[in-house]
Amino acid sequence: MSGIVDIKVLLKDMKPVLDNTDYVFCTKKCFEINEEIMKLNPIGTFLESEGMTLIISKVKADEHKLSYESIFNKITLEIHSSLDAVGLTAAFSKTLTSYGISANVVAGFYHDHIFVPKDKAQLAVEALEELSK
């Protein structure tokens, strides 16, 4: 199934869904996924020259004494957006910016996932729902 590229359809049908799990962004000085990383059960990783960025639950970070700066909730846009779609990230970023909400975006094959500060997560969902109208 191909993802949707039409920006009007993407915005109208994006269906933001809030995951109330507390997530954090951490980093480890490693350059490959190993057993230690797997124990953290990351929902996302990204390899940078300084080390590996991990998106993990706050519970796991605390359990393994990993430092982090902020706590986020994840909003998933349920529409199957194409990785080639143009404008979706810009549109929702502009909306969230107008509400003073930071957005850390991860594009999966099927969906876009937006990590927003925990204390502004519900407001972010409401703003995205308004954009969808």
For each successive 10 residues of the chain (133 residues), what is the average pLDDT? 89 96 94 85 95 96 97 97 94 97 96 98 98 94
Mode of pairing for the β-strands spanning 72-77 and 112-117: antiparallel
Kindly state whether residue 89 falls inside one of the protein's structural domains: yes
**For residue 103, what pLDDT is reported?**
97
**For residue 32, what pLDDT is reported?**
74
**For residue 1, what pLDDT is reported?**
62
Q: What is the CATH number of the domain that holds 87?
A: 3.30.2130.10
Please state, for a pLDDT cut of 90, what percent of the chain lies above it: 89
Determine the Cα–Cα distance for residues 122 and 60; give it in Å rounded to an integer.
Answer: 23
Residues in the chain: 133
pTM, whole model, 2 decimals?
0.93
Q: What is the domain range of residue 106?
A: 7-132
Kindly state whether residue 2 falls inside one of the protein's structural domains: no
Kindly state whether residue 1 falls inside one of the protein's structural domains: no
What pLDDT digit, counting tens, does each position of 47-71 carry? 999 999 999 999 999 999 999 999 9
Kindly state whether residue 84 falls inside one of the protein's structural domains: yes
Number of domains within the chain: 1
Which letter does DSSP use for residue 99 in this model?
T
Q: Which residue has the tokens 């359809």?
A: 9
CA atoms within 13 A on the CB side of 17: 8
